[in-house]
Amino acid sequence: MDGDAPGPPRRQFGEEGGLLSYGGYLRLPELLAQQRPQSQAPDELLFITIHQVYELWFKLLLHELEGAREAMFAGELWQARHLFRRVHAVERVLIEQVEVLETMTPQDFMAFRANLAPASGFQSVQFRELEFLSGLRDERYLGSFRHISEEELARLRRRLAEPTLWDAYLTALSRRGLPVSDKEIMSSLLAVARNRGSYDDLWQLAEDLLTHDETAALWRMRHVQMVERQIGTKSGTGGSTGAPYLRGRTRLHYFPLLWELRAWL
């Protein structure tokens, strides 16, 4: 009985005539038909599953980061922060789940690795979309995509043309009267850092951006550790030098000015 409880009356579910089911709603027949190893190697199912899980999370991250960008443009900083909290939680999961793939031995990986070339994580369109949206817009990757569809290429071009998270943050600063030209931006960031009484929301939002940057870098470091464990000094199936190439990418930052700011505080 709801009695005088405030709010809408509670509904008793369970009498909907069986219209919607768990598997139907989640499209499980379609989803579970997608894990199809190419070989008899026992660990290829693990390898495929883990990559598919990454791509599902990448899709969600793109969605939430687009939302955060929109909220920053609209000056709704609380909403952007709410979404960044979710983004960070997912990014921590992405790092944690490397451990699952590391239960595979290199010997077991070698049983199917040769069949993978020339495919590699290089060709993850959503991973590159995340980088572009976050502000790391390296157009050279457009040329390095072999075997991607016209639709995927168009998506990447669109990401290159659209505003980044940093563009959105700059808009949030200027909405509060802080100048954001190349010459003035560092003083504005310093003003935010030193006047928390007036700008704490902008400070916390910059910290959220920095955490997004930091967790992406942590994933890259975790990935290269796994790579060294699995293939040592071998070159990559995608044609790169392997671990040395990946090590070079661990130093990249989405928001270099937020790191540089530390030197001035």
Ligand X SMILES: N[C@@H](CC(=O)c1ccccc1NC=O)C(=O)O
If the CB atoms of residues 205 and 246 are measured against ligand HEM, the closer one turns out to be 246
116 binds, among ligand X, ligand HEM, none (CB under 5 to 8 A by kind): ligand X
Residue 185 among known ligand-binding residues:
no
Q: Could you give the CA distance from residue 87 to residue 91 in angstroms, rounded to a whole number?
A: 6
Among 37, 67, 163, 238, binds ligand X (CB under 6 A): 238
Check binding of 237 to ligand X (CB under 6 A): yes
Cα gap 224→50, rounded to integer Å: 16
Residue 204's binding partner, choosing from ligand HEM, ligand X, none, with beta-carbon cut-off 5 to 8 A by kind? none
Compute how many other C-beta atoms are within 10 angstroms of the C-beta atom of residue 11: 7
The interface region with ligand HEM, picked from 29-37, 175-183, 187-195, 241-249 by CB under 6 A, is: 241-249
> How many CA atoms does the CB half-sphere of 178 hold within 13 Å?
23
- Residue 119 contact among ligand HEM, ligand X, none, beta carbon within 5 to 8 Å by kind: ligand X
Q: Residue 237 annotated as binding?
A: yes
239 counts as binding ligand X under rule CB under 6 A: no
Give the one residue of 113, 176, 249, 253 binding ligand X; rule: CB under 6 A. 113
Give yes or no for residue 121 binding ligand HEM (CB under 6 A). Answer: yes
State which of positions 178-237 bind ligand HEM (CB under 6 A): 223, 226-227, 230-231, 236-237
Please choose, out of 93-101, 113-121, 152-160, 181-189, the segment that lies near ligand X by the rule CB under 6 A: 113-121
- Which residue ranges make up the annotated binding site? 47-51, 113, 223, 237
- Which residue ranges make up the annotated binding site for substrate? 47-51, 113, 237
